[in-house]
Chain A
């Protein structure tokens, strides 16, 4: 069974760093792109970027370039989303999702990130 299990909710202060994770299982993790999607409170889905775990090739939505960093470790079948300087505007639920062809067929349960002083 394909599963993407994300790390738990986080509460951080502005300026802090954070790395959230997405562990894949039940399929060949290395050979499927993993995407990250932001959903701000009460808002829609925003595609942030995508990574190919086998060689860590990464593509960012230009709107998110430089805002957060996507990485992956194929040895632990885990993808990551990382911030070095969190802002209140980063408060959102973040989803990872497995890309199949040109859509996302399996999704993680979401990680709520709250940034507040």
Chain B
């Protein structure tokens, strides 16, 4: 199972928005309702931000939103704050207890 493809970096100005893409295949993202997004600050464990393409866990601000079209999922962070600067990883459930992560995107808040 190959890693899902994400852009290495993305940036947006404070208060503005940034969108990160995550591209897979029909065997993972394209065929799955189960796309998740994780935020990871340096030296910290990942944190679940989005699950099942567009749902937010309790406590995650509604500035974070997810979507999917075909084999590509996207995470949008609106109203960028300084603390949103982190690495973001997408993930897809593949079937039969298999998972795959994305290559990761470093988000910089300008």
Residues of A within 8 A of B (CB): 33, 35, 37, 43-47, 50, 59, 61-63, 95, 97, 101-105, 107-110
Which among B11-19, B77-85, B96-104 touches the partner chain?
B96-104
Task: Report B-chain residues with C-beta under 8 Å of the C-beta of A110.
Answer: 45
State whether B100 touches A47 (Cβ < 8 A). yes
* Interface residue count on the B side (C-beta < 8 Å): 26
Q: B23 on the interface (CB 8 Å rule)?
A: no
Q: A79: shortest Cβ distance to chain B, in Å?
A: 15
* Residue in A61, A62, A107 whose CB lies within 8 Å of B45: A107
Whole-angstrom distance between the alpha carbons of A61 and B89 in the complex?
Answer: 18
Chain A residues positioned under 8 Å from B97 (CB to CB)? 33, 50, 59
Across the interface, name the chain A residue whose C-beta is closest to B47.
Answer: A107
Return the chain B residue nearest A48 by Cβ: B99
Q: Provided the pairs A102-B51, A103-B91 are in contact, do residues A44 and B103 lie with their beta carbons within 8 angstroms? A: yes
B residues in contact with A46, CB < 8 Å: 3, 101
A-B pairs, top 7 by smallest CB distance, nearest first, are A102-B34, A102-B93, A59-B97, A103-B36, A44-B104, A107-B45, A103-B51
Establish whether residues B34 and A45, one from each chain, have CB atoms under 8 Å apart when the complex forms: no
How distant is the Cα of A103 from the Cα of B99 in the complex, in angstroms?
A: 9
Please report the C-alpha to C-alpha distance between residue A97 and residue B101 in the assembled complex, in whole angstroms.
14
Q: Please name the residue on chain A nearest to B96 by beta carbon.
A: A59
Complex contacts, B64 vs chain A, CB 8 Å: none
* Closest Cβ neighbor of A49 among chain B residues: B97
Least Cβ distance of A5 to chain B in Å? 11
Which residues of the other chain, B, contact A43 by a CB distance below 8 angstroms? 104
